Chains A and B, each alone.
Chain A
């Protein structure tokens, strides 16, 4: 901790706003670059399944592991910068801690990449116990340990960040319940006194992530011990439940963080505030409560439970995000409706993000219903579902925030290409539909080598992926070239210029 504190002194000496801006830009740049790199890994995998490329299965599984872990981590980083940027307007948060998280993320990323590309670790990003310890010689215990240590380091960073956000909310609003708007939700206080929309979202994301990381750390420590002292075992079922809880919570939290971009950016275009009515707060409270109910369900899945409890748990687990999704989709539509909003790339991306999130939930609900589950689970239906709401949801919202930030450079000669937007959206739809179609044709997930009848899906999917990579590539490059100018911008005005005032 000493190192961070040292930086605090430096950061304190400099202008706080400039420092915060610099760290935000670093976050966006890191997220953008890693995102693009991981997309290239994804494209390589899809093209291998399509037999356009000849990648050996061993490398394929390393790529699968790296893509999974890298994407989940970078979605966290992307969500974190959106959350931090907006929540910082309302509660005190520490720039040092924010920076520490990025540094720890990079250290963890190096460990993870090393475990895969040097150590050959390919136990999938979920490192399901006891697989990491049983590689049949494909990777060593050290490689698996480097991977888990990497996750642990990244977890520590996010734990610090979320605790800091919670601390700020606790201090400003008196309690986390107030941060969620519980009083407004149950009618104890007028709607107008509720927190701005960024705050309930940040509260929910941080609560669930802190719990998820604490649980994740437990399994990671246990798995690490098991690697080196194999006689220490644990129940594989309990381990699985803990890991999945941690994984699901973390990946779902990315969207609760990224959605803040929608709450804050779309209204700027439409010239009126996001409607934080009672229903809005109630939805955030409900979603939080539902995730927390699912919590013991995951922990106890191992014990004999009556079937109805399992079914209810399963349904709640899939529906926990639904209240928030509904108020967000509805809110986005009301903001946009008859507002005379001028569409451009950032506003378009934010809107696509909401649609992608909504679209991604439908296959999840289908998958969650037990009957379908036994048919579709472990087919490409599952990557189809989560790529929809991650690639076209979380990532779209992040790209919206990124391009919106880039617009601040005045008199910019190159604007963000609408062509990039369409490449990304169009390619993304083709890509996820190819997964979903393959899934309903029972093509299994996580297979390096595909049978001839599956190739059509794979080839269409690869094409879509290629378009996505091109579109996102253009946006990322256009952002990166503006970073120096953005870093030099005076940061006295935290209020963002309205779109009319900005480039166009």
Chain B
């Protein structure tokens, strides 16, 4: 063994482990999705209060929902695949909410990231497909391109074109608490789990 070998090796291993640990949030995640969820959980983040237009053509902002929990998902109405599942899931959540009397303080919001195609008429037909009605469940699109960009960025949503004129995007459900902060990123799934998390977020 030569002089300087062990210190050099120790240095390389230490910096190597440190950078791997940094990239994986302390060896807990290896995907962007995992990192995003972990980050949100530990540091709830405020989302920009952008202006959105809903299926009835009405303008509103996130601050409308203050004091309530809000479940958000990102869709585009001409989506042939996953958005249908997402719509169905929210439909089930809505049904469950209605069963419970509709006073649980949870609202639903589906945001389209395809302003080119999704004007109020398209939003209305999507709403009709899954039985959505404002204000309990709005289908909306950001009023401006800048607004859309800011929203996607702060939610950490990546949308990439697929090969068939549509988009590949994630199927997560975003939970905002009573102060309008993004506190959880959840898997679309059984209404009970989503509502339990939401109830947790308002209280």
B30 is an interface residue with CB less than 8 A from chain A: yes
B9 is an interface residue with CB less than 8 A from chain A: yes
* B15 → chain A closest CB, angstroms: 17
- Residues of A near B5 (CB, < 8 A) are 2
The CA-CA distance from A303 to B151 in the complex, in Å, is 45
Question: Which residue of B1, B9, B30 is within 8 Å of A229 (Cβ)?
Answer: B30
Would you list which residues of chain B between 9 and 43 have a CB under 8 Å from chain A? 9, 30
The CA-CA distance from A9 to B2 in the complex, in Å, is 11
Of chain A, the residue at the smallest CB distance from B27 is A228
B116 is an interface residue with CB less than 8 A from chain A: no
- Residues of A near B1 (CB, < 8 A) are 2, 5-6, 9
The CA-CA distance from A229 to B31 in the complex, in Å, is 11
- Residues of A near B30 (CB, < 8 A) are 229
Of chain B, the residue at the smallest CB distance from A3 is B1
The CA-CA distance from A434 to B122 in the complex, in Å, is 76
Q: Bits for A1-28, please: 1 = Cβ < 8 Å to B, else 0.
A: 0100110010000000000000000000
- Residues of A near B9 (CB, < 8 A) are 2
Of chain A, the residue at the smallest CB distance from B9 is A2
- Residues of B near A2 (CB, < 8 A) are 1, 5-6, 9
* A453 → chain B closest CB, angstroms: 49
Would you list which residues of chain B between 87 and 129 have a CB under 8 Å from chain A? none
B interface SS class: helix
* A7 → chain B closest CB, angstroms: 11
Number of interface residues of A (CB under 8 A): 5
The CA-CA distance from A302 to B5 in the complex, in Å, is 47
The CA-CA distance from A240 to B26 in the complex, in Å, is 32
- Residues of B near A5 (CB, < 8 A) are 1
The CA-CA distance from A2 to B1 in the complex, in Å, is 8
- Residues of B near A6 (CB, < 8 A) are 1
Number of interface residues of B (CB under 8 A): 5
The CA-CA distance from A337 to B165 in the complex, in Å, is 81
Q: Bits for A226-239, please: 1 = Cβ < 8 Å to B, else 0.
A: 00010000000000
* A221 → chain B closest CB, angstroms: 13
The CA-CA distance from A500 to B5 in the complex, in Å, is 53
Of chain B, the residue at the smallest CB distance from A5 is B1
The CA-CA distance from A229 to B1 in the complex, in Å, is 39
* A222 → chain B closest CB, angstroms: 14
The CA-CA distance from A319 to B128 in the complex, in Å, is 67
The CA-CA distance from A9 to B5 in the complex, in Å, is 15
- Residues of B near A9 (CB, < 8 A) are 1
The CA-CA distance from A2 to B10 in the complex, in Å, is 11
* A407 → chain B closest CB, angstroms: 40
The CA-CA distance from A6 to B6 in the complex, in Å, is 11
Of chain B, the residue at the smallest CB distance from A9 is B1
* A455 → chain B closest CB, angstroms: 51
- Residues of B near A229 (CB, < 8 A) are 30
* B187 → chain A closest CB, angstroms: 10
* B120 → chain A closest CB, angstroms: 38
The CA-CA distance from A6 to B5 in the complex, in Å, is 12
* A232 → chain B closest CB, angstroms: 9
Q: Bits for B159-170, please: 1 = Cβ < 8 Å to A, else 0.
A: 000000000000
Most buried by A among B1, B5, B9, B30: B1
The CA-CA distance from A9 to B1 in the complex, in Å, is 8
The CA-CA distance from A41 to B114 in the complex, in Å, is 66
Of chain B, the residue at the smallest CB distance from A225 is B30
The CA-CA distance from A6 to B1 in the complex, in Å, is 7
Of chain A, the residue at the smallest CB distance from B6 is A2
Most buried by B among A2, A6, A9: A2
Q: Bits for B137-168, please: 1 = Cβ < 8 Å to A, else 0.
A: 00000000000000000000000000000000
The CA-CA distance from A6 to B9 in the complex, in Å, is 14
Would you list which residues of chain B between 49 and 95 have a CB under 8 Å from chain A? none
* A5 → chain B closest CB, angstroms: 6
* A12 → chain B closest CB, angstroms: 12
* B192 → chain A closest CB, angstroms: 21
The CA-CA distance from A9 to B9 in the complex, in Å, is 19
* A106 → chain B closest CB, angstroms: 23
* A347 → chain B closest CB, angstroms: 45
The CA-CA distance from A5 to B9 in the complex, in Å, is 14
Of chain B, the residue at the smallest CB distance from A232 is B30
The CA-CA distance from A305 to B148 in the complex, in Å, is 51
The CA-CA distance from A61 to B1 in the complex, in Å, is 46
The CA-CA distance from A317 to B6 in the complex, in Å, is 47
* A156 → chain B closest CB, angstroms: 17
Of chain A, the residue at the smallest CB distance from B30 is A229
* B8 → chain A closest CB, angstroms: 11
Of chain A, the residue at the smallest CB distance from B29 is A229
Of chain A, the residue at the smallest CB distance from B33 is A231
The CA-CA distance from A280 to B188 in the complex, in Å, is 65
* B7 → chain A closest CB, angstroms: 12
Would you list which residues of chain A between 198 and 243 have a CB under 8 Å from chain B? 229
The CA-CA distance from A5 to B1 in the complex, in Å, is 7
* B67 → chain A closest CB, angstroms: 35
Of chain A, the residue at the smallest CB distance from B34 is A229
Of chain B, the residue at the smallest CB distance from A6 is B1
8 cross-chain pairs, A with B, having the tightest CB-CB distances, nearest first: A6-B1, A5-B1, A2-B9, A2-B1, A2-B6, A2-B5, A9-B1, A229-B30
Beyond contacts A2-B1, A5-B1, A229-B30: 5 other A-B pairs, Cβ-Cβ < 8 A, are A2-B5, A2-B6, A2-B9, A6-B1, A9-B1
List 8 contacting pairs A-B, 8 Å CB cutoff, sorted by A.
A2-B1, A2-B5, A2-B6, A2-B9, A5-B1, A6-B1, A9-B1, A229-B30
Residues on B facing A (Cβ under 8 Å): 1, 5-6, 9, 30
